[in-house]
Amino acid sequence: MSDFTPMMKQYLEVKSNYSDCIIFYRLGDFYEMFFDDAKIVSKILDLALTKRDCGGGKTAPMCGIPHHVVNQYLYKLVSEGFKVAICEQVQDPKLAKGIVKREVIKLVTPGTIDEFDELATNKNNYIMSIYMDSTNLSITYSDISTSEIFCTSIFEMNRDNLITALEEEVIRTTPSEVIINSNILKSLEKSVVKLLKNLRIIYTKVDIDQDFKSLRENNEEFYSNNLSNKILLFSIDNFYKYVCRFNVKLNDFKKVNLYKLSDYLRIDANSRINLELKKIILVMT
């Protein structure tokens, strides 16, 4: 890497900070992708895969898209379950001394794709945060375009009942993406991941913060009022910590609605899926 060009070093630094994302790296009138990102994107979007000199006699796989048609490509990638970090030039090239300064200005994921016309529907687009331990579960979810948060928690349940409760909530709310606490028990993780994969929902593991820093910084009142329920605080703190990456105004996320699972008619997963299928059939006939 020491022999790489300044531009490629800059790209690799951005990639290291957003390793879970495909990087759209702005070069003039194009967004370029490199290395494994280029291989993935070229295959999904049917783009020509070329090469770019990295320096030191090395080359990197590369593909690109014109900046003025980026939305349609973003939508396709996110629909396939990928996250995209858009890295823009934030400095006038004429004023740059050396490499033009670039920064990630936006992350686009299934839970933040609303702004694109292709997804213009009346359906909420939720990001869900899940905290689970051996006997307890808390769920936080929000459509970030509305800034309204919903939270619930349940305690002292056996493993099967925990998974059933989670399954019913996931199918009821149909989130576009899910956050899971990284210290989840392996036996529970296996069932949760299977559920999400079956429903084609992408997930991200997030480390819990015992100090609830993100929650305290953005909603001190909710934190103070719910200190007795740390299980609930874990899921909402992880939600705040995750969505702060999207350059949203977290101060707008003050309205938190606490609910009980009993507030909703409980319909088991198979029955709910059958009802949705019947709705589709009725619409088509």
pLDDT in tens, 11-38: 999 999 999 999 999 998 999 999 999 9
pLDDT for residue 91 = 87
* 50 has pLDDT over 80: yes
pLDDT in tens, 87-128: 999 988 888 888 899 999 888 988 877 655 454 456 788 999
Q: Assess contact for 72 and 118: CB atoms under 8 A.
A: yes
Class for the domain spanning 126-275: alpha beta
Is residue 248 predicted with pLDDT exceeding 80?
Answer: no
CATH class of residue range 6-108: alpha beta
Task: Quote the percentage of the chain above a pLDDT of 90.
Answer: 62
pTM here is: 0.79
Contact 60, 36 (CB under 8 A): no
pLDDT at 267 over 70: no
Residue 183: per-residue pLDDT: 93
- Taking 80 as the threshold, does the pLDDT of residue 263 lie above it? no
Tens digits of residue pLDDT in 129-168: 999 999 999 999 998 888 889 999 999 899 999 999 999 9
Q: What are the residue ranges spanned by the domains of the chain? A: 6-108, 126-275
pLDDT at 283: 37
Give 195-224 pLDDT, tens digit per residue: 999 998 999 999 999 999 999 998 999 999
